[in-house]
Amino acid sequence: MRGFRLGYGRFLVFGLLLAVLSACADGGARHANGPFYNRPDSTSPPGPPNDPWGPWIRDASRRFDVPDLWIREVMRQESGGRASATSRVGAMGLMQVMPGTYRELAQRYNLGPDPYHPYDNLQAGAAYIREMYQLYGSPAFLAAYNAGPRRLEDYLWGSRGLPDETRNYVARIGPRIASAAPARRAPAEVYAAADIGTNIPRGPRRMDGGTMLALREQRNAAPSMQVAQAAAPAPAAPPSTQVASLNPVVRMDPIPDGSTYSATERRRAGLDAGGTALNQASVAPPAPRQAPAAVPSRGGMSLIGSANAAPARPAPVAAAAGGGNGWSVNLGRFASENLARSAASSARSGAGGNAQTEVVRIAQGNSNVFTARVRGLSRAQAEQACQRLRAT
């Protein structure tokens, strides 16, 4: 998913040669347009009548390692190949990308300002598919694409059923894309944790008790990093403390089913700001001075748990001490550093005092996720912050 950049000096001629050969191989469809990634000036279909968007689909497929078939099937369901399609809720273009999601993807992947430009819209849709696939595997990425990742995680861990529209969406597209897979596959544990199949029953997720216990254990595993916490006075006999888990909430707008686009197709001018507010958080207690280091992760993706405003098993000293600034609020995992910092800044502004933000990058397979937290809080501030985040 990272853009490929050639250096200067002795590689410059080689880079220019590659660019010329790539343009020729795609029939002249790839051209630089100012600062934006390869975007052509024209919005006309670059392919033949039987495959009008084919060259641009293949370009997006190569860039993000998303199978050509996945992009085609999502596009067919979302817009029927109509570049100007607009849904009732404002999803736009061939891949029906929501305004807030497009802005984030455009910044991250150097796309142009017009979400209806077919080339950029396909790029954004393919990028979003790749991000959702990396978090949930296939076919679960389809549910995240349609309903949003937080809604999918509510189903995976929150005993809440998926909407009928999302269930039908996965059932229609899932079987048609089962034969294809990216060259860089998501880790096996990601597939296992979000194994929902293509025929999703109504109601909460169904699984046997052993599987649920194993997945919860994986979800609650500490991430592979050291979490810095303010030291508290060490008690004579430090009690055993259960560390509250990080909650991986990816703040991205859901993309609705393409069957909802409006009969009157239109371009939207002056798009309103989008984005999904966080509603999951956990508060971590201050660690004793001699507390052991965090246990490294076993390599699996930690998935969403319930919000916890207090430590699951609080130490008597920490629970009784209403003052002190050794508490922190863990905001979860995010798909980009910008989202993580935005969430942390928002939480800090509501916390007041001398709160500080912290964002940590964690390698997950072939991509990165970012954890965010606010630290330097009193217990009362931390609990109030959790309550505010749950209410949003």
Helices (H), 98-187: 99-109, 118-136, 140-147, 149-157, 164-177
Q: Which amino acid is at 349?
A: S
Q: How many CB atoms lie within 10 A of CB 239?
A: 12
The model's pLDDT over 295-317, given as tens digits with 9 standing for 90+, comes to 333 333 333 322 333 333 332 22
The model's pLDDT over 192-220, given as tens digits with 9 standing for 90+, comes to 889 999 999 999 987 655 555 555 555 55
Helices (H), 248-336: 316-320
Domain positions in the chain are: 9-210, 277-288+300-391
Sheet architecture: strand order including 327-334 = 282-284, 327-334, 367-377, 356-364
Euclidean distance between CA atoms 325 and 291, whole angstroms: 17
Start-to-end C-alpha separation, the chain: 31
The model's pLDDT over 72-99, given as tens digits with 9 standing for 90+, comes to 999 999 999 999 999 999 999 999 999 9
Euclidean distance between CA atoms 101 and 254, whole angstroms: 8
The model's pLDDT over 270-304, given as tens digits with 9 standing for 90+, comes to 333 333 333 344 444 444 444 333 333 333 333 33
Residues recognised as catalytic: 78
Q: What angle do CA 71, 73, 74 make, to 5 degrees?
A: 65
CATH number among 3.30.365.10, 3.30.2000.10, 1.10.530.10, 3.30.559.10, domain 9-210? 1.10.530.10
Euclidean distance between CA atoms 281 and 284, whole angstroms: 10
Euclidean distance between CA atoms 57 and 64, whole angstroms: 11
Overall average pLDDT of the 338-346 stretch = 79
